[in-house]
């Protein structure tokens, strides 16, 4: 069942959405309060160290910003903080729907019961390493475009992009902020063209590659086998996914969308709008930082957004 149709129930128009952040939200000390105060959290963090084969908690709790930026650390660290925060809520995790930004979609799927904690962590770790290999294979980057309509950004990118010189719209974060992704020279050319077209700013991002672009195809191929070999269950509530900004509960559809996500844009603006259209009035961000709360406030000021983590 899709598009949140079966969500329209008698909850007096008050429905809760739980959302999960992506890469970039990490900080030193993340999760330590949970580890120290909650036995369940400690158990899960310790299990994560065993699964990953290294002491990720030590890096999360005490590591430097540079250590946290290691690919094999960053994505599992944000995932762990997000998922364990949600699990420790217990019955207070009363989601009518969930969604996540890029990496956060994996956290959302675990929180909603579609994937086990162990399998989710293994997939995230594999995803991180596959993306790192794709980044090293071809120099590439991303840039944030501020103050221009989505359609104009898409038009300019399409006029510049060609084989070997790729630039595409990658992250639709909120109205007036769209991240582009591709080969370094193509992204730089697009930044200049977009500023000439009226963008207020075009900011290169400190990332190692062109995430959510065709340049991630090798990572997609590698992750596809792992996702297809993983057991997915029907989630406890609809999961809104990045590739089409719609609700999904069918495990096979969820799998295919998760595979497509690596080379497809993150349609976060439209995903949040779809959740609101389905009845969401209250958004809780589970995990480090407040990035998603900021985007939601810019997408629709008529809903509330707050965080735990």
Which tokens in the block code for residue 63? 């590591």
For the chain, the distance separating the N- and C-terminal CA atoms, rounded to the nearest angstrom, is 31
The CB density around residue 216, as the number of other CB atoms within 10 Å, is 25
Catalytic residue status for 102: yes
Catalytic, out of 125, 212, 213, 248: 212
Return the closest-CA partner of residue 154 out of 173, 179, 175, 188. Answer: 179
Greatest CA separation for the chain? 55
Tell me whether strands 97-100 and 140-146 are parallel, antiparallel or unpaired. Answer: unpaired
Sign of dihedral through CA atoms 249, 250, 253, 258?
positive
Which tokens in the block code for residue 229? 């070999």
Catalytic, out of 82, 85, 101, 102: 102
Say how many residues make up the chain.
Answer: 309
Phi-psi sector, 91: left (phi>0), alpha (psi -120 to 50), beta: alpha
Q: How far apart are alpha carbons 239 and 19 in whole angstroms? A: 10
Catalytic residue status for 212: yes
Query: What strand order describes the sheet that includes 239-240?
Result: 247-248, 239-240, 97-100, 15-20, 280-286, 304-308
State the catalytic residues: 102, 212
């Amino acid at each position: 069942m899709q598009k949140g149709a079966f969500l329209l129930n008698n909850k007096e128009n008050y429905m809760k959405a739980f959302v999960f952040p992506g890469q970039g939200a990490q900080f030193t000390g993340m999760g330590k309060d949970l580890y120290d105060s909650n036995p369940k959290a400690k158990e899960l963090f310790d299990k994560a160290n065993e699964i990953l084969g290294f002491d990720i908690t030590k890096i999360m709790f005490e590591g430097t910003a540079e250590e946290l930026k290691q690919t094999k650390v960053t994505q599992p660290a944000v995932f762990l903080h997000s998922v364990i925060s949600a699990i420790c809520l217990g019955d207070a995790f009363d989601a009518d729907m969930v969604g996540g930004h890029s990496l956060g979609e994996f956290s959302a799927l675990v929180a909603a019961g579609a994937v086990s904690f162990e399998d989710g962590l293994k997939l995230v770790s594999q995803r991180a390493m596959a993306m790192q290999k794709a980044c090293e294979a071809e120099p590439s980057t991303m840039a944030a475009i501020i103050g221009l309509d989505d359609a104009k950004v898409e038009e300019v990118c399409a006029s510049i992009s060609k084989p070997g010189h790729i630039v595409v719209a990658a992250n639709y974060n909120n109205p007036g902020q769209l991240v582009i992704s591709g080969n370094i020279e193509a992204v730089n050319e697009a930044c200049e063209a977009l500023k000439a077209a009226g963008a207020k700013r075009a900011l290169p991002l400190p990332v190692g590659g062109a995430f959510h672009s065709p340049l991630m195809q090798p990572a997609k191929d590698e992750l596809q086998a792992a996702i297809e070999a993983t057991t997915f269950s029907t989630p406890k509530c609809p999961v809104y996914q990045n590739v089409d900004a719609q609700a999904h509960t069918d495990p096979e559809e969820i799998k295919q969308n998760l595979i497509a996500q690596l080379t497809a844009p993150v349609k976060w603006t439209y995903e949040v709008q779809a959740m609101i259209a389905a009845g969401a009035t209250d958004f809780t961000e589970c995990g480090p930082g407040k990035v998603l709360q900021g985007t939601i406030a810019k997408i629709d000021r008529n809903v509330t957004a707050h965080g735990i983590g």
